[in-house]
Amino acid sequence: MSAREPTVSPEDDDLAGYNENGRMCIVTRESGSPDELIRFVAAPDGTVVADLKRQLPGRGCWVKIDRAMVDKAVAKKLFARALKADVKAAADLGETVEKLLMQQLMQMMNMARKAGQFISGSSKVDAAIRSGAAIAVFHATDAAADGVRKIDQARKAWHLGMETEEEIPSYHLFSESEMEGLMGQNAFIHAAVLAGQAGEGVVKRAKMLEQYRNGGQSRAAGGAGRQKQ
């Protein structure tokens, strides 16, 4: 066995989809790291489920973080072949995965809020950006254009003043009503994520949801906001 091969029992995971560069998408046949792919497994009832935390037991297969790729895997019945089992992928699996990604992000936002790493309110967001505390900002998709513009000005001012490589990323992922349905009183119009493990978890999951919706690409305005060396 090559030193690069993982120690995995045949029934435990997808050795057939492994190569030395990482896991392989069953649709594109392109390799990638686990953070670039979504793992799927067969549930006890024979249905295909997404294993977002990569913790479920049994043979797994991988699909690029892209809604279109998941839909294609369902349409072409690729899951049964990859999982080597008589499994059924629901026609709405792609939609179900998106809902799971949304819920995962909302849960992490609530966790970051409790940790003091997620704040809301336009004035607090503006202050967090201008102080350098913010690592990302979020807006409701139906937020007023003037409010978004003012926060964008703060992001640009920080970027230019501190000579960062890119502006602080800005995400527009949910409407206010969607957030109210999932987060209740924690719904927001404008919010900022602060540095820390929970805050970084929010950014990671936001990027994943955006990639899933946008053909595997992140369209967040700005980037990491790192200072030039």
pLDDT of 124-156, one tens digit each?
999 999 999 999 999 999 999 999 999 999 999
Give the pLDDT confidence score for residue 22 in this predicted structure: 65
Half-sphere exposure in the Cβ direction for 113 (13 Å, CA): 15
Share of the chain above pLDDT 90, in %: 80
What distance in Å separates the CA atoms of residue 133 and residue 147, rounded to the nearest whole number? 19
Q: Are 166 and 226 in contact (CB under 8 A)?
A: yes
pLDDT digits (tens, 9 = 90+) for 51-75: 999 999 999 999 999 999 999 999 9
What distance in Å separates the CA atoms of residue 147 and residue 164, rounded to the nearest whole number? 23
**What single letter denotes the amino acid at residue 219?**
R
Range scoring the smallest mean pLDDT among 6-10, 25-29, 149-153: 6-10
pLDDT bracket for residue 222 (50, 70, 90): low
Q: Is the pLDDT of residue 20 over 70?
A: no
- DSSP symbol at 53: T
Q: Is the pLDDT of residue 2 over 60?
A: no
Helix (H/G/I), strand (E/B), else coil: 109: helix
What distance in Å separates the CA atoms of residue 22 and residue 201, rounded to the nearest whole number? 22
Token pair, residue 182, equals: 């999932």
Using alpha carbons, list the distances in angstroms from residue 127 to 87, 122, 124, 134: 52, 9, 5, 9
Rounded to 10°, the helix 67-75/93-114 angle is: 150
Mark 152-174 as b/e (b = at least 16 C-beta within 10 Å). Answer: bebbeebbeeeebeebbbbbbbb
Give the pLDDT confidence score for residue 217 in this predicted structure: 81
Q: What are residue 46's DSSP bridge partners?
A: none
